[in-house]
Every structure is written in structure tokens, then in C-alpha cells.
Amino acid sequence: MASIRDLKKDINFVLGDIIEAVYIVETANGKNDSKEGSKIIDSAIETFDVLIGKVNEKNVENRKAHLKSVRKELEEKATALVEQLNKLQ
């Protein structure tokens, strides 16, 4: 079960770092509470909720493959959020 715990930590850390990066970029550019930044933060929170929900699903046929797909989805969504963050600068 350590891999499930690690996956949950990865989800938390990756999306938390993206949210923190939004605040840093906004502060550096003097644009606190921009609409674009808020949209990225809301997307990160929504992604967190969805991915944690998928990790906690119990009725899956192949648990290992399911968790692997959740990890892949995390990578894809995090990459998309980082691209949005780069446009924010």
C-alpha cells in the first residue's frame, strides 16, 4: 500500500507546487489575484479532487493498471497546467 500513499503524496506535491508557482509569478509581476492565475489554481484544485477520488476507488478490476493510469493522468494534467502557467508570465 506504500505506492498508493506515494501516489497521493505526488498528487498533492505536484499540484501544490503549481499553485505556489502561480502565486510567485503573480507576485513577481505585480498582478495579484489575476483571473488567469485564479483559473489555473481552480483547475489544479479540481484536478486534485478528481485524481484523489480515482485513487480511492475500490471497485476496479486491475488495481495496479488503474493506479498507473491515474499517475499518467497526473503527468498529463500537470504538464497542461504548467503550460498555462508559462503563458501567465
Strand (E) or helix (H) holding 61: none
| 3: confidence class by pLDDT, cuts 50, 70, 90 | confident
Q: Are 18 and 78 in contact (CB under 8 A)?
A: yes
Tell me the whole-structure pTM to 2 decimals: 0.89
pLDDT band at residue 2, thresholds of 50, 70 and 90? low
For the chain, the domains span: 2-88
8 Å CB contact between 7 and 55: yes
Residue for grid cell 513577481: 28
pLDDT tens digits, 59-84: 989 989 999 999 999 999 999 999 99
Show the cell assigned to 37: 492565475
Closest to 47 (Cα-Cα) out of 5, 86, 75: 75
As a whole number of angstroms, the distance between CA 81 and CA 14 comes to 10
